[in-house]
Amino acid sequence: MIALVSLLMFLFPPADTPVAVIEKLHPDLDAVVDAHTAINVIADGFEWVEGPLWVEQEKMLLFSDVMKNRIYKWTAEKGTSVYLEPSGYTAAVPRGKELGSNGLALDPQGQLVICQHGDRRIAVMSASLSDPRPAFITAAGRYTNKKFNSPNDLAIKSNGDIYFTDPPYGLEKGPEDPVRELAFHGVYRIARDGTVSLLTDSLTRPNGIAFFPGEKQLLIANSDPQKPHWYIYDLTGKGALANGRIFFDGAAIFGKEHRTPDGIKISNKGIVFAPGPGGVWIFNKDGLPLGRIKTTLITSNCAFSGDQRTLFITADHCVLRVALK
C-alpha cells in the first residue's frame, strides 16, 4: 500500500508541489540563478518535447514534439500553437516511435535547420520563419552513401558549419533496426560547401552538442547508461576534433538517478546547462557542478532567450521557464 501511495504521489503530485527547484552545489551558482526563483510551466499536454529554440526576431520559442511529428510555437502573448507539421517525417507510409523533428537551430542566414529523425537527415526549411511550411532542402542525408541513423542535435558555427550527432533513437527498432546502414553512431560536420565529414565514431550514444564561447571547444553529451558522460573536444583550425576527454563523469549520479546526459546549451559566459540525471545540471567552464534545476520530470533539452536572462526547458510532456541572472 505504501508503495502504491508513493507511486500515485509521483504521478499526481499535490497542486502546491513545485515542478522543479534549484539545488545549490557551489557558491558560484549565486551568480547564475537565484536559488529561490520560481520555475513555471508555460506549455503542457505534449507527448515528448525536445529541441527548444528561441527565435528573437519573432519573439517565439519553437520546440519539437518528437512523437507527434510537429514543431510547436510558444509566445508570451498567445501561448502555444502548431508551427510546422510534419516536421521530421515526410513519407506517406505510417510509422511510429520517434519519427518527428528533434534538434532545431538557426543558420547565419536566419533559416530554420532541423534534425529530422524520421527522414534521417539534416534539413533546412525553405520557407520564412514568419510563414512556415513543410518544405525542406536536404543539407545532408548520407555519409559515404549510407543513410544516417537519426540526426538528433546540432550546433552551428558562426561561419555556417553544422555540427551534429547521430544516435539511433529515431529508428523504429533502435540500433537493431534492419534499415540501419551505418555501423556506428557518429558526430559529423557539414561544411559550407555541403561536404560531410565524420568527426568521431568513438562515442556510443552521442546526443547533445554545443560550442563554448569563441568556438574553440565543443561539448558533447553521451546518453549511454554504461558511459553517461559529457565529453569536451578542442577544435582544430580546419574544424576537426582533437584532444577529446571527459568534461564530467556522470556515472556516480546515474547510479542514483537513472537518466543519461541529453541536450546542452552554453551561455556566453561559458556556463553549461545540461539536462541529465534528476534535472538540468549547471557546470562552470571547467566542469565543476554549480547546481541543478532539480525535477522529477525527464528533462531533454534547453534554450536561452535572446538576452540569456531566461532558460526554457523541454521536460517530458511540458515546457518550463526559469529566470536567470
Cα 60 from chain centre? 17
Residue 201 lies in a domain: yes
Report pLDDT digits (tens) over 119-156: 999 999 999 999 999 999 999 999 999 999 999 999 99
Residue 282 lies in a domain: yes
Residue partners of 150: CB distance under 8 A and separation at least 6: 98, 102, 115, 117, 118, 120, 166, 167, 168, 169, 170, 171
Residue 189 lies in a domain: yes
Collect the ranges in the chain with pLDDT lower than 70: 1-17
pLDDT at 256: 87
Amino acid at 249: D
pLDDT at 254: 87
pTM above 0.85, yes or no: yes
Residue 13 lies in a domain: no
pLDDT at 29: 98
pLDDT at 9: 40
Structural domain count, the chain: 1
CATH number at residue 191: 2.120.10.30
pLDDT at 17: 54
Residue 234 lies in a domain: yes
Domain that residue 303 falls in: 18-323
DSSP labels, 181-250? --SS--EEEE-TTS-EEEEES--SSEEEEEEPTTSSEEEEEE-BTTB-EEEEEEEPTTS-EEEEEEEEE-
Rounded Cα distance between 203 and 311, Å, is 28
Residue 230 lies in a domain: yes
Report pLDDT digits (tens) over 213-224: 999 999 999 999
User: How many residues can be counted in the chain?
Assistant: 325
Residue 46 lies in a domain: yes
pLDDT at 255: 83
Residue 8 lies in a domain: no
Report pLDDT digits (tens) over 289-317: 999 999 999 999 999 999 999 999 999 99
